[in-house]
Amino acid sequence: MTLENYLAEAGALAGLAGVLAGFSLAAVVQLLTAGERTKLETAEVVIFSAASVMFLYSLIVAVLSFSAAAELNRIPGELDGLNVGGFLILCGAIYVFLAGVGVAGWIRSKTAGILTTLLALISMCMVSYALAMVLSLFM
């Protein structure tokens, strides 16, 4: 891998993590300012908070790796473990985020809950398929 490819990859992961962290934090703020305080809304705050913390960790890892590589003008092999951990946490955060989306519909109604849960499950399957296909290229 060239340094340019490494920097592009780290930048892409940082961008993805940053955008999704923003969505997660927006959901937390929206739920905290809502009038009702049901157990389901509390669970949603916890789910989206967990997703946002996971995304923020991945964002920090990607930005620091990007910065180190740019400053050293080489790919820092010493950070491989940190980068793999950050990527795995990013993948997990995507599933936690999708779980939050799936649970969100239940706040509104049973019909909305069923539909959002179904859509979240379909999205999880699609993400899993995409990850498996890309990761299979490296096996």
Chain-centroid distance, C-alpha 67: 21
Q: Is 70 helix (H, G, I), strand (E, B) or coil?
A: helix
What is the model's pLDDT at position 116? Answer: 97
Could you tell me the residue ranges of all domains in the chain? Answer: 3-136
Judged against a pLDDT cut of 80, whether residue 36 lies above it is answered with no
Q: How many Cβ atoms from other residues are within 10 Å of residue 25's Cβ?
A: 17
Q: Is 86 exposed, middle or buried (0-12, 13-18, 19+ CB in 10 A)?
A: buried
Which tokens in the block code for residue 121?
């499950």
Each residue's pLDDT tens digit, 54-76: 999 999 999 999 999 999 999 99
